Structure 1
Amino acid sequence: MGIAISKLWLVVMEVIFKIIRQQQNSSPIVQNYHLDVEGGNTILDCLNLIKWEQDGTLAFRKNCRNTICGSCAMRINGRSALACKENVGSEIAKLEQTVITGSHTNGIPEIIIAPLGNMPLIKDLVVDMSSFWNNLEAVAPYVSTAGRNIPEREFLQTPQERSRLDETGNCIMCGACYSECNAREVDPNFVGPHALAKAYRMVADSRDHKTESRLEEYNEGTKGVWGCTRCFYCNSVCPMEVAPLDQITKIKQEILDRKQASDSRSIRHRKVLIDLVKEGGWIDERQFGLQVVGNYFKDLKGLLSLAPLGLRMIARGKFPLSFEPSEGTQQVRSLIEAVKQEEKKLQGVRE
């Protein structure tokens, strides 16, 4: 595969670029542009050729052309990516591995370019990123005031303390993760994976003095970490390997370490799931509903909300009267305990 792709880099080929174009308050149209390009040409190179030689009205953002600024993020063949990073040869190779209706016209490969998702359109491939920046601001991604006071000597961090910031420090604010976020698409209150990845940077920063208040804020409803659906799209499209979902998970763990199961349904969901799997190897769904939604029989409203579902399950013979632990339950327990011991060791190293 590596040899095949490298050959594509040197071959001049005809490619059809199908670009989704749209003005504000108008319906989108698909406009085709034919280019003779080499496989090594980036998508941004090709967009520049279209703008300079075929259609000067095409609108898109660009700046550094070197995977630094994040300006040229857009959807390329259905996924959010940087136009300056992706090249024609790689895109065609991906098309050959997947069945995409309309990926070729009369044997000519097609590359589909569209604007980022989850943000209003301005023109063509340019979107309004106001919500993206506002949600970033909402998590206060700056070292706290106390941490910014000028000390008698410089701030010092150990290599271990600094290494906790490495992944999140790579973020270039391109918007790819925000564009693909399922949670953001259905919940306008969710701040987005980019904001929570930056939020973890503050939680992990040894110079910050607001860790507890930050965690309380990130624990609030579905606008914080509990709004994440764990779809993994943010990790898969991030061009800088920030792994936003991993950072969200780390914030969740910090919250779980400080909270009791009775504090909220989100907390109970996580803790009860682990406890039930540890007890029986898999989830006893009868107990799961009662403990999570019903708060161990303390939440009358929650219990009543389960009644219609329970009655329908009983009427259709789908309500289990007993629970059989899975085979290998002891091994499951051992694994969970081993993970907890590793977490304690890591916590000790951090402290």
Structure 2
Amino acid sequence: MAADGADVLMSTIENTDATEAKPEGLQEFTLRLRRYDPESGQAPYFEEFQIELEPHRSVLDGILQAKAKEDGSIGVRCSCRAAICGSCGTRINDKPGLACHTHLDEALKRSKDGKITIEPLGNMPVIKDLIVDMDAVHWKKQARVTPWLLPKEPLPEREHIVPRESMVDVTQSMACIQCGACVSDCLSMEIDPLFVGPAALAKAYRFVGDPRDSRHAERLSNLAEDPHGIYACTHCFKCIEACPKGVAPMSQIMRLRRIASQDHHINDRNNGERHEMAIVNSVKKYGTLNEAKMVPDSYGGPLAPAAAKELVASLPVITKALLRRKVTPKTALFHHKNPDQAQIKRIYQEVQGREQRLELNLYITQPDEDPAELAAHEAHVAEAAAHDAAEQAERAATNQTEAGA
């Protein structure tokens, strides 16, 4: 009997240990990490790790568990673990993002083979495993745009007074945490490594949009003249999709272009302003883009020497388009007009008739408070002010009566 009792006791202890060892809610995940150590001389390869965590835990938690329990040599960069510092930027299932801000269950849903694939960010040299050299690309390009305020002179005695809307506007670009996700997915940088890049240009708008800065024209002229500057962006929207903080770098680049061309009228060697106006005028006239006129219009007109030179350089492309019947002499010479051209002209008249250009910035256009709550608050403030005024009037009348007595 004693032996039977001991067996029961041991069985109870084992069951208790098993229950403690595997808490409810744990789930197994397979992490497929890209490994690379330049000192080993070995080519990059993928290695799989099995982890057990709650599904709501982050991918970074999974990487750190694999590092702690299976291989301490895994190279990963992290700090705050709260989507603030931007250190843990990686590519998860072919999409850039913050490892600390991506839940394991969400990453698994995006997986094609049931495994969570984690790689270092693109467009930057890899130091080891998931760690990239931010100095070589990201921070070097940040320095390119002079990322500090160049204030107007003379400086005020106490402080700068600026409109609230101006500071709210640059708040969107100030939200950048320098994680490098947009740089990783930038197609322009993949083709042209010298391109200034979305993160640096978003930082440039932070100062071009700041009324306290005194070098707006110089900053814009510098970036417009640079063949790898604001006009090298191809509008692929990848940086907008990649950004975990809603900075929308491509939108900041478009603002830089608009300010450079429409406000400062910078006639740059990249023909940025002329090319922009060629597109605007073509759509206004035809409703569609007349590609046959794009080159001459972008280079100063069909009789301009630069346009003739560019047309000659484009002959191989034009010939190939004619041979493949993507364009015909008739469509090139007589571009068709959109049947709803009157509606398009009406849109142009409405937009160009505005006193101020409308900038699409959610930080400004989105109301800070609920309209009903704001109206109620204003009514309450007005009622309190009226009550205070009535009390003051009554008190003044009482004092006057007492003085007369």
Q: Which TM-score band (shorter chain)?
A: 0.7 to 0.9
Structure 2 equivalent of residue 319 of structure 1: 328
Which among 6, 12, 16 is matched to residue 30 of structure 2? Answer: 16
Residue in 2 that maps onto 1:332? 344
1:306 is matched with which residue: 308, 314, 331? Answer: 314
Higher relative contact order (CA 8 A, sep 6+): 1
Match of 2:109 in 1: 93
Q: Where do residues 212-251 of structure 1 align in structure 2 (5 Å cutoff)?
A: 212-251=217-256
Q: TM-score, normalised by structure 2?
A: 0.76
User: CA–CA distance in 2 between the matches of 1:229 and 1:326?
Assistant: 26
Query: Matches of 1:79 and 1:343 in 2, distance apart?
Result: 41
How far is 1:280 from its partner?
A: 0.7
Alpha carbons of structure 1 residues 133 and 13: separation in structure 2 relative to 1, 3 Å: same
Map of 1:277 onto structure 2:
283
Q: Which residue of 2 aligns with 1:46?
A: 62
- Give a deviation string over 1:267-326, Cα, whole Å, max 9, x none: 222110110010011012222233225743202311322334444555665324222201
Q: Tell me the percent identity.
A: 31
Q: Cα gap change, 1:246/1:342 in structure 2, threshold over 3 Å: closer, same or farther? A: farther
How far the C-alpha of 1:89 sits from its partner, in A, is: 1.5
Residue 144 of structure 1 aligns with which residue?
Answer: 150
The superposition leaves residues 116-154 of structure 1 with CA deviations (integer Å, 9 ceiling, x where unpaired) of: 11111110001111121011011001110546x753111
User: Aligned equivalents of 1:269 and 1:315: distance in 2?
Assistant: 26
Count of matched residue positions in the alignment of Structure 1 and Structure 2:
327
Greater helix proportion: 2
TM-score, normalization: structure 1?
0.87
- Residue 336 (structure 1) shift: 2.6
Change (3 A) 1:320 1:337: farther
Which aligned pairs between 1:54-65 and structure 2 lie closer than 5 A? 54-65=70-81
Unpaired runs of at least 5, structure 1: 1-9, 105-109
Match of 1:134 in 2: 140
Counterpart position of 2:164: 159
Residue 221 of structure 2 contacts residue 266 of structure 2 at CA under 8 Å; is this kept in 1? Answer: no
What is aligned with 2:303?
297
Distance 1:303 1:260, change over 3 A: farther
Is the Cα contact below 8 Å between 1:20 and 1:30 reproduced in 2?
yes
2:293 corresponds in structure 1 to 287
Cα RMSD between the aligned structures?
2.2
- Residues 171-222 of structure 1: CA distance to partner in whole angstroms, max 9, x if unpaired? 1101100111111111122111000001001100010000000010110233
Q: What letter is aligned with 2:80?
A: C
Query: How far apart in 2 are the matches of 1:227 and 1:205?
Result: 24
Higher mean displacement: 71-80 or 305-314: 305-314
Cα distance in 2 for partners of 1:234, 1:274 equals 25
Distance change (3 Å), C-alpha of 1:314 and 1:128: closer
Tell me if the contact between 1:293 and 1:303 (Cα under 8 Å) persists in the aligned partners. Answer: no
* Contact 1:39–1:89, Cα closer than 8 Å, also in 2: yes
- Say if 2:174 is the partner of 1:169: yes
Tell me which amino acid in the other structure corresponds to 1:117. G
1:267 corresponds to which of 268, 273, 279: 273
Equivalent position amino acid for 2:275 in 1: H
Three-state SS of the structure 2 residue aligned to 1:155 is coil
Residue identity in the other structure for 2:309: K
- In structure 2, the CA distance between the partners of 1:313 and 1:71, relative to structure 1 (3 Å rule), is closer
Give the letter for the 1:332 counterpart. I
Q: What is the DSSP-based 3-state SS (H/G/I as helix, E as strand, rest coil) of the residue aligned with 2:97?
A: strand
Report the structure number with the largest CA radius of gyration.
Answer: 2
> Counterpart of 1:219 in 2: which secondary structure?
helix
Q: State the SS of the aligned residue for 2:278.
A: helix
5+ residue gaps, structure 2, are: 1-23, 365-405
Assess, with a 3 A threshold, how the Cα gap between structure 1 residues 183 and 343 changes in structure 2: closer, same or farther.
Answer: farther
Give the whole-Å Cα distance in 1 for the aligned partners of 2:158 and 2:300: 54
Asked if the contact 2:260/2:266 (under 8 Å) is kept, the reply is no
Structure-2 separation of matches of 1:320 and 1:151: 63
